[in-house]
Amino acid sequence: MGPVIKTVNLTKRYGTLVALSNLNLEIHEGDCFGFIGPNGAGKSTTIKILATLLQPTWGEARICDHVIGYQSRLIRPLIGYVPDYFGAYEDMVVQEYLEFFAAAYNINGSQRVKVVGDVLELTDLGYKRDAFVDALSRGMKQRLSIARVLLHDPKVLLLDEPAGNLDPRARIEMRELLKELRRMGKTIMISSHILPELQDLCNTVGIIEQGQLLYSGPWTDIVRKARGGTVLQVSVAPNPEGAADLLRQNPQVESVEHSNGFLQVSLKDGVSDPSFVSRDLVQAGYRLLMLKEEEANLETAFMRLTKGAVQ
């Protein structure tokens, strides 16, 4: 089966500014794709194009094999778009807000009442159905946004920083909600700056910088790729500086950095057995206080792969 979301050389220019440059992406059914990059990298532009809100300058984007721009009418019922802002309506209560969008998706009559009731229950907002939307807290508004995009049971969710500016509790609740949606089989594309949460939620990620996709694939691969070889954290006594010089002489060691009493030892690619580190240190008379392999995570990979440049 083909990818649910596919872009081929997708390019978007605003005058002379290139917001996206030849973006090639494939996201398969049931995937949760984390889209990360510095501010101004082109994440929101990509999501807006996929949400049919922007026309690409060049290239092609497809959702469920429908081409954006030519078959947007067929695409819109298949997607649910949550922007990085709320889009509040004045003088509307929660239930009206949801009924309003249900009607926009042509869900009418008793079916509308049932659907609205269901999504309110799923997002735990039932007790707020009479509250004005502009009086809700930020966390509630984000949950309401998720409720809104679930009304028509879309196959694809396009979420642009849904956890931005949320407090820790609201963020955790949002993450659990998205996990539940993933279990329901939705294909999710989510952009976020909170990388540990993306790591917990997504199976694939894409890193974009200055409109160019640097990497796309399973997050475990990207972490491995970014790290290169194994990194060890070592604590020794006495004279850690002397211990660092000793290890640097070993041909299997790439580099050693010393900071705050800890040594960060990077082994060369292909070195799979790090036991020589402890052996050499003990034989040289050092007391080994701690030795552990550095945890691989998305944040480190992101920092290593991107330069922090913005457009």
Partner 1 sequence: MPMILNYLYRLGPGNPILLRVVESGGKRRRDLIIRTAYLGILVAWVVAALITGGGTVGAASLDELAKTSALIFQQMSYLQLALVALLAPIFTAGAITQERDSQTYDILLATPLSNGQIVLGSLLSRLFFVVALLISGIPVFSITQVFGGVAIASIVMSFAIAAATAFVTGALAMAIATLKVGTRRTIFSFYLFIAVYLVGVYLLDGLAYFHPVLPDAAGVSISIERTGTSWFTGVHPFLALRVIFNVKGYAPPDLGSLPESLKSWPWSWYWTRPAGFYISSMFALSLVLVLPSIVLLRRVAQSTISPRTWLLQRLRIVRADRTRKPRGVWNNPVAWREARTKASAARASILRYGFIAIGVGGAVYLAWRFNTLRTDEVDYYITAGSYDPASRQLTVYGKELTRTYLLDSGADVRINGVEVDPRNADALNGRYQISFTSTTPNGTTLNMVTATDIQRGLSDAQVRTFLLGAVTVEFAVILLIVTNAAASTVTREKEDGSLDLLLSTPITSHYYIWGKLRGLVAFVMPLIAVPLISVTVFVASDWFRSIGPNADSNFRWIVFPEALLILPGTLIIVAAFGGILGMQMSLRCRKTVMAVMSSVGIMLGVAATLGWCGNVALRQFGRHTGLFNLILASFSPFTILTVLIDPYSFADAIFVTGPGPGDQAFAGRIVLMVFSWVSTAIYAAIVWAMYRSMVKNFDMTIRRQAR
Residues of this chain that interact with partner 1 (CB under 8 A) are 14, 48, 51-55, 73, 76-77, 79, 81, 83, 85-96, 99-106, 108, 112, 129-132, 135, 148
Shortest distance in whole angstroms from residue 182 CB to partner 1:
21
Question: Smaller CB distance to partner 1: residue 38 or 56?
Answer: 56
Q: How far is CA 181 from the centre of its chain?
A: 15
Question: Smaller CB distance to partner 1: residue 13 or 268?
Answer: 13
Shortest distance in whole angstroms from residue 191 CB to partner 1:
15
Ramachandran bin of 185, using left for φ above 0, alpha for ψ from -120 to 50, beta for the remaining angles: left
Question: Smaller CB distance to partner 1: residue 2 or 87?
Answer: 87
Question: Smaller CB distance to partner 1: residue 130 or 295?
Answer: 130
Shortest distance in whole angstroms from residue 31 CB to partner 1:
20
Question: Smaller CB distance to partner 1: residue 23 or 298?
Answer: 23
Q: Which helix (H) or strand (E) holds 209?
A: strand 204-209
Shortest distance in whole angstroms from residue 33 CB to partner 1:
18
Give the CA radius of gyration of the chain.
24
Which among 219, 214, 175 is positioned nearest to 194, based on CA atoms?
175
Please tell me what DSSP assigns to residue 133. G
CB atoms within 10 A of CB 185: 9
Rounded Cα gap, residues 186 and 179, in angstroms = 10
Shortest distance in whole angstroms from residue 258 CB to partner 1:
45
Question: Smaller CB distance to partner 1: residue 146 or 232?
Answer: 146
Shortest distance in whole angstroms from residue 102 CB to partner 1:
8
Q: Phi then psi for 103, rounded to 5 degrees?
A: -65, -35
Residue 270 DSSP SS3:
coil
Q: Which residue has the tokens 């850690």?
A: 240
Question: Smaller CB distance to partner 1: residue 43 or 236?
Answer: 43
Shortest distance in whole angstroms from residue 186 CB to partner 1:
16
Rounded Cα gap, residues 119 and 146, in angstroms = 9
Beta strands in 43-113 (DSSP E): 58-63, 66-67, 79-82
Rounded Cα gap, residues 75 and 154, in angstroms = 10
Shortest distance in whole angstroms from residue 96 CB to partner 1:
5
Question: Smaller CB distance to partner 1: residue 95 or 216?
Answer: 95
Half-sphere exposure of 60 (CA within 13 A, CB side): 9
Question: Smaller CB distance to partner 1: residue 96 or 294?
Answer: 96
Residue 68 DSSP SS3:
coil
Please tell me what DSSP assigns to residue 268. P
Shortest distance in whole angstroms from residue 149 CB to partner 1:
9
CB atoms within 10 A of CB 224: 12
